[in-house]
Amino acid sequence: MKKLNGTGVALVTPFKKNGKIDFNGLEKLVKYVLNNHVDYLVALGTTAETTTLKQEEKWDVIKCIQSANYKKLPLILGLGGNNTEDIVNKISSIKNLSDFYAILSVSPYYNNPSQEGIYQHFKSIVNCTETNIILYNVPKRTGSNIIPDTVLRLAFDFENIIGIKEASGNVLQSYRILKRKPKNFSVISGDDFITLPIILSGGEGVISVIAQGFPDKISHMISLAKRNDVKKAFSIFYNIMKIIDLIYEEGNPTGIKTFLSVIGICNPYVRLPLLVGTPSLRKRMLHSLNEINQ
């Protein structure tokens, strides 16, 4: 199967002021990134505030994204958790998994499993489906790290584990996976700040938060990096680095939703326990955006 390459977008779930899903905003966002050269879409990931969506809302979000996408780009479905049996049951119950290129599944959070426990968790998932699985390692949210040896063990043992979204923030960890991984296993950056080093060392691309704010710029930056045009790639990164700083200052997705509001894509509203971005954040984003556009 063709490897995932380039720029993936971790889509937000826009909300109205009353807390209901803003499907018009979601459709506008999908069309915006679709028309600006991104390579694939990620639905119901961390940035989508999936933990605060009801099950029915999740499938309404998927239907909206699928409709706006018109089957133009591969769609990745976020589906993970810390109850292995529950995740297996959810995957087994989905009737149209063929509509998705892969499932992005986060390492179990809160339970703090051992490396063998993490291995057995993903083994249970793989054994219940023929769908491609992308591991998602984000220790600052899960409380545990999938170490390179465990990643590589999973990669070599199961063909349909096709890659990892590596968001440990530790670029050396990515290097250790890249050095020894199977040929068809993809290392995908899950951190906008270290995407370029990961690509330049052999990674396939990024599942990005900022790419929905700057889809054309990020897609161009990734394309340049994959062609080893390092100077031009970093020129784009440095140009928007301040905005990347700002979108994480008050947490994700608060920051990116604030920025999407600034550029007129969707509302900035989030669900508790997250809070909407402050007026100060919005003001500084406007200032930085004006500097970029000069």
The set of catalytic residues is 136, 165
Cis omega before residue 279 (within 30°)?
no
| CA 266 from centre of chain | 19
* Pairwise CA distance, residues 54 & 176, whole Å: 38
β-strands 102-106, 132-137: how paired? parallel
DSSP H helical ranges for 35-165: 55-69, 84-93, 115-126, 139-142, 148-157
Which amino acid, residue 2? Answer: K
* Pairwise CA distance, residues 68 & 194, whole Å: 30
* Pairwise CA distance, residues 141 & 248, whole Å: 14
Other Cβ atoms within 10 Å of 53 Cβ, number: 17
Q: How far, in Å, are 41, 59, 71, 102, 160 from residue 96 at the CA level?
A: 17, 12, 14, 12, 17
Burial class (CB in 10 A: 0-12, 13-18, 19+), 263: middle
Which amino acid, residue 286? Answer: L
Q: Which residues of 81-102 are buried (b: 16+ CB within 10 A; e: fewer)?
A: bbebeebbebbeebeebeebbb
* Pairwise CA distance, residues 45 & 35, whole Å: 21
Other Cβ atoms within 10 Å of 193 Cβ, number: 15
β-strands 102-106, 75-78: how paired? parallel
